[in-house]
Amino acid sequence: MKITEVKAIGVNRFLFAEVHTDEGIVGLGESGTWAFLDASREAINSFAQCLIGQDPLRIEHLWQYMYRAYHFRGAAIMGALSAIDIALWDIAGKHFGVPVYQLLGGKCRDKARVYYHVGGQSTEELVKNCIDAKNKGFTAIGHLTPFLDEPRSKPYFETHVQKIERAIDRVRQYRGAVGDDVDLCIEIHRQLKPAEAVVLARGIEKYHPYFFEDPTTPDNFDAMAAIAEKIHIPIATGERLHTPQEFELLLRRNAVSYVRPDVCMCGGITGAKKIAALAEANEVGVVPHNPLSPVSTAACVQIAACIPNFALQEYPGDDRGAATERFVDGKVGSEHNDRFRQKDIVKSALKCENGFIVIPDAPGIGVELVAGAAEKFPFDRRKIETRLHLDGSVIDQ
C-alpha cells in the first residue's frame, strides 16, 4: 500500500488532513493549531511532498522523518504533523479492520468519562450553565472560568482584591449549584501571575476542584512548579506543549498532576501515547485537550480507550458551534450557534451518554467527514484579537 495524495481541508473553524492510498483507504486527522490554521495548512502541503509513494503503515518512521527533517517545530508544524499522524493511524485501523486502540494494546475501558464545556459572560449565566450541564447528565464540567468569558474587545480592569474575591465567590456558587454530583474543572487560561495563582488556589481549595488548569503562562516550567509546591489543588497543564520532552520537563519538576496533551498538536496519536506512558511512570493522570471538532474527539478517545492512567476527556459538545466562536469571539450562550453544529461536518459523531463517550468499535478512529464538507461549511479564519487592559497594555485571556 502506498500514499497517493495528502490533502489539507479547511472546514468552518477546523483544519483536517486526508491521506489517500492506492488501495482506496483514506485516513482522516485534524490539526490543533486553532489560531493559525492557514500556516498549518501549508505545513501539511509541505509534508505531502515527502509522503507520496511511502507506505502509510510505517507510522513511527514517517513521524520521525517529518519531525527530524529540518529540526524546526512549533504549533503550525506540529499541528500539521499531528493531523497526518492521526490520518495514518486511521488508515492502519481500516487496513486491519480494527479500531486504532486495538493496535495500541486494546481497551482498558468501555467508555470514557468526559467533562462538558461551560461558559458565560456573567456569573448568573455561568451558574445557570453549570446547572444545565448537570441536568444533561454530565458528572464533570470544565472550560469553567472563575472569571468571565468576556469579549476580548472589552478593556479589562479590576483591583487585585476584586479579581480574587469575585473569582472565589463564583467557584463557591458553582459548587453550590451542582453539589457533590459534579466535578469542577477550573480553567484559568494562563490569566494569572504565579503569586496571583497561589492566592486564588488557596481561596478555592475548600470547594475541591478536580483540577486547576493552566494557572499561568506555559513558558516557564519552573514557575508552574513553584505554584504546584504552594497549593493543594492538582494542576492540569500541557495543551500548548508539542513534544514528550516538554512534558518530561514538567513531570521532573512535579509541576503537574494531570497532563493535557492535545492529540492534534503533540504529535498525534503517536506523540500522545508516548506522553501518556511518561505520565503513567510518574503516577500522573491524562486529560486529553480537545476544544476542536468531532474528528479530534474521535482521535482523543482512541488514547482514552487504551491507556491505564486516563482520567477525563474534554468534550466541547458536538451539538454546538466551534469553541473559538463561543469563547474567543465572546458569543458564549448566543443562539447564533444554531446555524452550525460541529456534528454536521461528520457522517456520525461518537455517542455520549450520561457523561460518558462510548468507546467505538468502528475501524480506524471511527469518524468520516460528510461529502463536500468544505463547500457546505466554508473555512472561517479566526480573527486575531488580544485583550487589552484599561491602561492600554496587553493582558492574558
Distance CA 225, CA 275 (A): 18
Q: Three-class SS string for 326-384?
A: HHHCCCCCCHHHHHCCHHHHECCCCCEECCEEECCCCCECCCCECCCHHHHCCCCCCCC
Contact 29, 84 (CB under 8 A): yes
Catalytic, 117? Answer no
- What does DSSP say about strands 26-30 and 14-21: parallel, antiparallel, or unpaired? antiparallel
Distance CA 214, CA 237 (A): 5
Q: CA dist 27 to 86, 220, 223, 265, 308, Å?
A: 8, 36, 40, 17, 26
The whole-angstrom distance between residue 314's C-alpha and the CA centroid of its chain comes to: 7
Q: What are residue 10's DSSP bridge partners? A: 15
Beta-carbon contacts of 77 under 8 Å, excluding residues fewer than 6 positions away, are 40, 43
- Is 95 a catalytic site residue? no
Can you tell me the distance from the alpha carbon of 312 to that of 299, in angstroms, rounded to the nearest whole number?
14
User: Grid coordinates 511512570 are at which residue?
Assistant: 281
Q: Kindly give, in sequence order, each residue whose CB lies less than 8 Å from that of residue 212, ignoring residues fewer than 6 positions away.
A: 186, 188, 197, 201, 204, 231, 233, 234, 235, 236
* Identified catalytic residue from 20, 95, 117, 289: 289
Catalytic residue among 20, 61, 189, 208: 189
SS3 label, residue 88? helix
> Does residue 41 contact residue 298 with C-beta atoms inside 8 Å?
no
In Å, what is the CA distance from 21 to each residue of 49, 54, 132, 241? 14, 9, 45, 31
Active-site residues, by number, are: 189, 289
